Chains A and B, each alone.
Chain A
Amino acid sequence: MINFFFSDPKITIAAKLLEVLFFLMGFVCFFTGVKNLTDKGNKSSLGTGVFWIALSIVLAFGRWIPNLINGILVLIMTLPAVLRQVKPGQSKPVDPAYSEAWSKKLNMTIFIPALSIGTFALIFALFTKLGALVGIGFGVIVAIVTLMLMNHDNKLPTFFNDARRMLDIVGPLSMLPMLLASLGAIFTKAGVGEVIAHYVGMIIPQGNINIGIVVFAIAMPLFTIVMGNAFAAITVITVGIGAPFVLALGANPTIIGMLALTCGYCGTLCTPMAANFNIVPVALLDMKDRFGVIKRQWIPALFILAFQIGYMLLFK
């Protein structure tokens, strides 16, 4: 089946390369899973291994697996995640003296591989039919080759071991964006949007696009403040308010949809619920005031929100 896919002339090269990218993505997860399964230093090696290996199967081969099986695999990987059985294993931390020494040798040239991913993402998106994601993959390969040429200590296993170390830190939250997108799909299928729209419609008039934009743009930060996560808020609010009260009236989905997310970010700047950004730094910097970071963010956040509302109203 896989063979057939890659030799089928009707399928674009872009689609084929994207699947190659998913093989690589799956392989990084598979590598992380196997390393953790065999890691005696990881007390939850089984749960950790199951999580990453199940994820790797869906990422690499999901296209050829029936949806029902994919759904079961996703539920399986959420089990060790919810039971807190996905933990980082033992990896050698980076020796600061080594990094310092190589930084002195490479100096500013280290920025060449660092910037290559974003550069190729943009170049591929603008000048080829392959798309930004394939560009990111290409940029990663360029960065790997550059780093290998710059420092011969960098062998292929170095990159995979370092990726495993980073992926271990991110942990099960690495599946969160995909899971949130799926929740959005289930909301849409179940008709949640229509229900919310029905009730919101009792409060605000449907058919006035400007009022719709203002409500959408303010609902995003408000829900983000409560939930602490703009990604979670956007799936709910776009379906419930953005679509029926703004997009259905013919507004530009690129501007409205994208700016709604960054309106949500203004909420992230104001909420202790987003602890990673607003509370953890208080501890890391030995600040006295628990709200010391939020106090320096909420006023600019209001200005940025107002700017975006104006932007949406003018360019809808």
Chain B
Amino acid sequence: MLIKLLGVLIVILGFAFKLDSILIIVLAMIVTALTGGLGVNGLLETLGQSFVANRSMGIFIVTLLVVGTLERNGLRESAARLIAKVKSATAGKVISAYAVMRVIFAAFNVSFGGVAGFVRPVIMPMALGAIKAKGLEPDPDHAEAIKGFAAGSENVTWFFGQVLFVGGSGALLVQSTLKNLGYETNLVDLAAVEIPVAIFATVVYIIYTLINDRQMMKKYYGGGQVSASEKPETPKVEA
């Protein structure tokens, strides 16, 4: 009886030891089919049947027909201009504005190029620029934290926003897992139950970012509330 769990063990250890994902799954399938008494034919039949039944999970392949060409036609640059309209006083607010924008677009399955394509070239200069606009030089520890929060908001809003997209791969996998167990669900309901979670996750992350950013402003710049009128008259020469 315990031997039936060998496949599960292979999955857990395989992923934990960073083996090739496809290799792990194929191995686990073969071992489970053999220890579970399905045999070679049973394995191939179940694999073929299930793979075909779950072709809808490949729906993202169809959406790629548009994703690459959108990028070619300047989607990322336009998104950068959209977020630049947010005139924010602090780095925390820049990141919060990005979190709101990203969770909304994630619900439509639209991304702007991830950390490499968007956070690094667009969000980070805006966030650091907000500090410099107060006449302050960003403290290295503050800058490091800002980077962490920018990447964190990128992840949190994508994870919990994308589940709102009707037909996203997460919901499709849940639907098929439940179907194997004899429970029927539909994609709109699966997306709808995530609405409160997406809102909560986004709000929590924004509050967490803003509280930390405010504390760091006090810690590194002694309050950091230098308003434009209090700025020294002499222009600061940047090294």
Contact = CB atoms under 8 A, between A and B. Distances in A.
Nearest to A91: B68
B21 A182 contact: no
Interface string B134-169: 000000000011011111101110011001011101
B163 A262 contact: yes
Interface of A: 18, 21-22, 24-25, 28-29, 58-59, 62-63, 65-75, 78, 81-82, 84, 94, 98-108, 110-111, 113-115, 117-119, 121-122, 125-126, 131-133, 135-137, 140, 143-144, 147, 150-151, 154, 158-163, 165-167, 170, 172-193, 195-196, 198, 223, 226-232, 234-236, 238-240, 243, 247, 253-255, 257-262, 265, 268-269, 273, 277-278, 280-282, 284-289, 292-293, 295-297, 299-300, 303-304, 307-308, 311
A176 B21 CA distance: 8
Contacts of A268: 155, 159
B24 to A, nearest CB: 8
A93 to B, nearest CB: 10
Contacts of A74: 47-48, 51
A195 B170 contact: no
B55 A284 contact: no
Interface stretch (B27-35, B222-230, B231-239): B27-35
B45 to A, nearest CB: 5
Nearest to A73: B48
Contacts of A247: 178, 181, 183
B46 interface: yes
A231 B180 CA distance: 15
Interface in B37-70: 37-38, 41-70
Contacts of A133: 56, 59, 167
B200 interface: yes
B126 interface: no
Which of A118, A135, A287 has most B Cβ within 10 Å?
A: A118
B97 interface: no
A253 B58 contact: no
B174 A261 contact: yes
Given A25-B61, A72-B44, A94-B71, 17 more contacts: A70-B48, A71-B44, A71-B46, A100-B77, A117-B108, A119-B108, A162-B68, A173-B21, A178-B54, A178-B58, A192-B8, A192-B32, A226-B16, A231-B169, A285-B124, A303-B204, A304-B204
Contacts of A81: 20, 22
A78 B22 contact: yes
Contacts of B74: 99-106, 110
A285 B119 contact: yes
B148 A287 contact: yes
Contact of B66 (A125, A144, A229, A254): A144
Contacts of B91: none
Contact of A232 (B11, B42, B172): B11
A251 B16 CA distance: 31
B60 to A, nearest CB: 8
